[in-house]
Structure 1
Amino acid sequence: MERHFTLGEFIIENQKDFPYAKGELSALLSSIKLAGKLVNQQINKAGLAEILGKIGKQNVQGEAQAKLDVIANDIFIDTFRNRGEVCGLGSEELEDIVIFDDEIHRDSKYIILIDPLDGSSNIDVDITVGTIFSIYRRVSPVGGPVTPEDFLQPGSKQVAAGYIIYGTSTILVYTSGNGVNGFTFDPGIGSFFLSHPNIKFPKKGNTYSINEGNYVHFPDGIKKYLKWVQELNEEENRPFTSRYTGSLVADFHRNMLLGGIYLYPQGTTAPQGKLRLLYESNPMAFLTEQAGGKATNGSERILDIKPRDLHQRVPFIRGNVDMVEKAESFLSQF
């Protein structure tokens, strides 16, 4: 009979691949999977519990907050507050960092950045949403106060990153720098089991994901690229297929498994891009590269960008290497 590894068993088996102290990644991911289970539970009963819709407030990004945005954010903060793996947390939903400055957290070596509920604008119509997380080793002295510099590290310094996708099944996907693996949640047992080992982008992709409703606002290079992907060319298997849900996690997950490119460029309505470097682009870029793909802002590797502030936005293009490089070639012409 085939052995099905749980997430915890898999981490223990592969602790040699984690560059720091044994057991730390296991404990961190244990907190993440616990919070993910609680968020999943809330999403599954959202319609019955009357927690759909907006709360009438905006987050720090100026975006209308869904009720589940706030609930998911609180769940992750409370989970990490009650456990001792991290000394600080940054959330897309909060203007400032959360510092856990008490006895059980003071000697923690790690900080975490989260997008508690990516794609929450889709929650009221039952489209897939997700959670994105990014883990760094703090640069400030252990035992001392957490500093902004602990959070403003380039993505190349991540020690682990991943996402939880809440769809037809709930899947946790993560990397610690030695490949990408996915674990599907079995609600009957209450555990995540390895279901997608060693995920890699297929050699070829023919799907593109972009909000084409913003076409008029895109740079000329992106407009030219979109015309190219839509042209008829049987030898190059064009036109490509368009797939876009408005949920980064959902589009990313599909394109990584099936092959494709995801684009959220800058435009006249988003001159710096829309996606957040720390909460979305860096963790997704880490996963992309570990799965054999490429992630860029159009000219520069995402993981090389030095963050200036907690909520910095960047253009984001990621996917199969050849598809990303083709998009970059069009951008370089203008």
Structure 2
Amino acid sequence: MASGGLQEQLSSLEPKLARVLLAIADAVAEIAVVLRGSGHSEVGTANAFGDKQLQADVAADAVVLERLRQCGAVETASSEERPELVPLGGRGYSVAWDPLDGSSILAAGWAVGAIFGVWPGAQLLGRCGQEQSAAAYAVFGPRTILVLARPLTGAGGGGPRSCTVQEFVLGEPRGAGATWALARSDVRIGEKQVFAPANLRAAAEHEPYRRLVDAMVAERYTLRYSGGLVPDIHHILAKGGGVFVNPVLASAPAKLRVLYEVLPLAFVVEAAGGASTHDGRGSALRLAAGACDARSAVALGSPLQVDRACECMAPVD
């Protein structure tokens, strides 16, 4: 375990950005408690995308919104459970998040996650992923883990390559709040034969994807796909390499939301030295969400593995 807590690690950042990231960390710690106490049954409602909501979805979203409001440094907020632009009255940054990604697998007792993207200013829509100041995800499993991609100093703005990626582990609450211990600094993605084949049903009709899957099976890649986006991405960072591939076609359309999932995770992966693409022709961070419901294919992970997946990421009519 590396030394240093979260607050100490963020002390060199522009103060408002540090406040936003600390608010995210506090929200993650609260969500960990929510998951132990909230039911996993449906609440009888759906979000604006038509996804059925669980009690935990609604409770986790409320926690994040309130923490961001309290920090005073968030101008605009938007979440997958509340896909609208909500003014929070602060100044400095805007945040988009998925408060409980993978909640449909909670009943199986599997790990789930949360995803956060932080942009400077008041705008979220129309901003490309490259413009993020920071991004983060959390894994709720045997341990609660927070992974941050953040600038080394200041407010950032230089894109993911000017950021560092750190992993923190939630400890027991002490006094008024939870403690986060730094587990790994400068997390990096290398080249490992680990393959997370999402949207696998598409391989039945998508010839390039079927060839990729067949080749990786023949080459004895380790196949790891849990049905949870965040745990699958974290497995790649934990192992030091691998690739997550989620292509789309007409019969298996895109499910991942650009604003709440694709752009923040692509930022984290590229900050760790990995690569991303949504179309096989360039980084997914070139994308901008023109609407809250914008969706995309994506491949994330080791640069050579993502490059190998580019053929099956090209748009299919």
Alignment of 1:244-259 (within 5 A): 244-258=225-239, 259=241
Measured in 2, the distance between the counterparts of 1:275 and 1:212 equals 11
> What is the letter of the counterpart of residue 298 of structure 2?
F
> For 1:36-66, what per-residue CA distance to the aligned partner results, in whole angstroms no more than 9, with x for missing partners?
11111011234xxxx1211122212221111
Q: Which residue in 2 is equivalent to 1:4? A: 3
Measured in 2, the distance between the counterparts of 1:100 and 1:118 equals 23
Measured in 2, the distance between the counterparts of 1:331 and 1:94 equals 29
Identity fraction in percent: 26
Change over 3 Å in CA distance of 1:324–1:3 after alignment to 2: closer
1:196 to 184, 204, 219: 184
Checking the alignment, whether the CA contact within 8 Å between 2:97 and 2:115 is kept in structure 1 is yes
Confirm whether residue 268 of structure 1 aligns to residue 267 of structure 2: no
2:25 to 26, 33, 39: 33
Instruction: Report deviation, 1:152.
Output: 2.5
Change over 3 Å in CA distance of 1:220–1:333 after alignment to 2: farther
Q: Which residue in 2 is equivalent to 1:117? A: 100
Gaps of 5+ in 1: 139-145, 232-237
Gaps of 5+ in 2: 151-161
Instruction: Report deviation, 1:24.
Output: 1.7
Checking the alignment, whether the CA contact within 8 Å between 2:199 and 2:252 is kept in structure 1 is no
Instruction: Report deviation, 1:83.
Output: 2.8
2:43 to 25, 30, 55: 55
Confirm whether residue 166 of structure 1 aligns to residue 151 of structure 2: no
- Larger RCO, structures 1/2 (Cα 8 Å, 6+ apart): 2
* Secondary structure of 1:260 counterpart: strand
2:196 to 199, 209, 214: 209
Q: Which residue in 2 is equivalent to 1:303? A: 285
> For 1:249-273, what per-residue CA distance to the aligned partner results, in whole angstroms no more than 9, with x for missing partners?
10000012212110111123443x2
Measured in 2, the distance between the counterparts of 1:311 and 1:182 equals 29
Q: Which deviates more, 127-136 or 304-313? A: 304-313
Checking the alignment, whether the CA contact within 8 Å between 1:221 and 1:332 is kept in structure 2 is no
Instruction: Report deviation, 1:179.
Output: 1.6
Q: Which residue in 1 is equivalent to 2:153? A: none
Measured in 2, the distance between the counterparts of 1:75 and 1:331 equals 36
Instruction: Report deviation, 1:331.
Output: 5.3
> What is the letter of the counterpart of residue 110 of structure 2?
I
Relative to the length of structure 1, the TM-score reads: 0.84
Measured in 2, the distance between the counterparts of 1:33 and 1:172 equals 7
Checking the alignment, whether the CA contact within 8 Å between 2:202 and 2:251 is kept in structure 1 is no
Q: May I ask how many residue pairs the two structures share in their alignment?
A: 300
Confirm whether residue 186 of structure 1 aligns to residue 160 of structure 2: no
Change over 3 Å in CA distance of 1:218–1:37 after alignment to 2: farther
Change over 3 Å in CA distance of 1:34–1:229 after alignment to 2: same
Larger Rg: 1
Alignment of 1:10-29 (within 5 A): 10-12=9-11, 15=12, 18=13, 22-29=14-21
* Secondary structure of 2:214 counterpart: helix
Confirm whether residue 157 of structure 1 aligns to residue 131 of structure 2: yes
Measured in 1, the distance between the counterparts of 2:8 and 2:16 equals 14
> For 1:58-95, what per-residue CA distance to the aligned partner results, in whole angstroms no more than 9, with x for missing partners?
21222111111111111111222233110110101123
* Secondary structure of 2:192 counterpart: coil
* Secondary structure of 1:289 counterpart: helix
> What is the letter of the counterpart of residue 117 of structure 2?
S
Change over 3 Å in CA distance of 1:197–1:96 after alignment to 2: same
Change over 3 Å in CA distance of 1:331–1:29 after alignment to 2: closer
Relative to the length of structure 2, the TM-score reads: 0.89
Checking the alignment, whether the CA contact within 8 Å between 2:279 and 2:315 is kept in structure 1 is no
